[in-house]
Structure 1
Amino acid sequence: MLASESVNATIEAVSGLSIVLAEQNSEIERNNRHEVYFDINVDGQSQGRIVVQLFDDVPIGSRRFSDLAEGHEGISYQLSKVDAIAPTFIRVSELPRLSYSASDAATVAGGDTVEQLEVELQDAKHFHQEGGLVSLVVKDSRPRPVKERLVAYQGKLVTVQEQQGSVPNGSGFVITTAAAPDLDATNLVVGRVVGGMDVVEAISQLPSVKANTGSPFFKVAKLAGDKRADVAEKGFGRPFRRVIIAQSGVV
């Protein structure tokens, strides 16, 4: 081998090693991010910053939350809305999609599905025992309605049942304002608020759509399978003011 060829080979090897090390360092950095922040606006006015400390013993869930707060590959919580205010928590709506790549494959921790989050939920280390806890929505708290329809099968019409609506994609999250044990079965706790709990409390006091589940009209409509009851139920707790995450990132 000529001396020049040897030098070029060495340069290529060093360059390749540098790229590998850079990728490894980037991966380590993503895994070691312990705090994220959310700057909150209400009707366009700044309300302050919420800082969340992530739990190390929930590796997939906490890293997924960090990825989405940072805006990994363009997928971010920025401009997400607080879409529900409940007596024990506030909820931020899930992202409509987890990838904008040509392959549509999500590279956030846990990928396109909630399978890995469900595994961590089954072996949960933390529970909704107090206010200030942050959890990803992994499962739907309400059973999805089932609709029957006729389809052609082998030259005949058969009746099939389909569940309506969509399942959570593991990006929506809640912040508790009090103990909320009813969330333990559906939500994976990934961290706690260490700054800006006053901002969370202020949001929780905003006027919102009242849940009139006790109304006889709602009960009848629900039992009858009236879609209007389902639509109304989805709107329960929705704040009358526009509450959004103006900025988010890693501390």
Structure 2
Amino acid sequence: MFTLISTLILLIGYCTAKQIDVTEEAIFDIAIDGKPQGTIVIALFGHETPRTVANFAKLASVQGFKGKSYRNTRFHRIIPNFMIQGGDIVRGDGRGSISIYGGRFADENFNIKHTEAGLLSMANSGPDTNGSQFFITLVPTPWLDNKHTVFGKVVSGMEVVNQVAAVQRDANDRPLQEVTITRSVTRPVNARLTIPSQ
């Protein structure tokens, strides 16, 4: 009986998890009001979402794209128990967003769901309006499924994400302290992650 129950638990766990290939990592050093807070390392799912990852990885690289990168940009929107948002390489305040494809680009797919904290997903203003802005979830956010493309996961530095989430903010969820990505680099990786699928 115990063996049967154990097998069922394993099968249920297997059926509700998804194996994802990691092709690159983005590494962000974070400062709050100029004071270093630590490093966030994000695994990127380049096989599952190649166009989305190519866009993000180029903007996260040292070279950037046409003089634009995530280095020295801010997290401009913070909502505790939801997400932190950044990536406005145009204006820095959430009103700008461009991509390496010229303007906005289409939603790639919604294969990965917003099932846990630490997932990296594209911020948009409606269908097919992806640019440079992204967010990191602080909790599972299933209401965003089939609306925003998940393309990575924080694999180190979630405590730094939570420090950012704890920054005081105004009535419009704008942080009252400057939260900055002071260093942004990428590196190739060959690994696999398990993501809850529901």
TM-score, scaled relative to structure 2: 0.71
2:90 matches 1:96: yes
| Structure 2 unpaired stretches of 5+ | 1-21, 92-97, 188-198
Q: Tell me what 1:21 maps to.
A: none
Q: Is the 8 A contact 1:139 1:186 kept in 2?
A: no
Bigger radius of gyration among the two: 1
Q: Tell me what 1:74 maps to.
A: 67
Matches within 5 A, 1:76-155: 76-86=69-79, 87-96=81-90, 108=100, 111-115=101-105, 117-118=106-107, 120=108, 123-140=109-126
Q: Which whole-Å CA distance do the structure 2 matches of 1:195 and 1:60 have between them?
A: 24
Matches within 5 A, 1:1-251: 33-55=23-45, 56-70=47-61, 71-86=64-79, 87-96=81-90, 108=100, 111-115=101-105, 117-118=106-107, 120=108, 123-140=109-126, 170-210=131-171, 236-251=172-187
Q: Is the 8 A contact 2:38 2:157 kept in 1?
A: yes
Q: Tell me what 1:151 maps to.
A: none
Task: Note the alpha carbon deviations across 1:174-214, whole angstroms, 9 max, x for none.
Answer: 0001011233344211100001110001111111123xxxx
Matched AA of 2:68: I
Q: Is the 8 A contact 2:114 2:142 kept in 1?
A: yes
Q: Is the 8 A contact 1:124 1:188 kept in 2?
A: yes
Secondary structure of residue in 1 paired with 2:149: strand
Q: Is the 8 A contact 2:99 2:130 kept in 1?
A: no
Q: Is the 8 A contact 1:94 1:169 kept in 2?
A: no
Higher helix proportion: 1
Q: Which whole-Å CA distance do the structure 1 matches of 2:126 and 2:170 have between them?
A: 20
Pair 1:168–1:44, CA change in 2 (3 A): farther
| Identity of matched residues, % | 33
Secondary structure of residue in 2 paired with 1:34: strand
Pair 1:81–1:107, CA change in 2 (3 A): closer
Higher strand proportion: 2
Secondary structure of residue in 1 paired with 2:162: helix
Q: Which whole-Å CA distance do the structure 1 matches of 2:125 and 2:176 have between them?
A: 26
Matched AA of 2:50: P
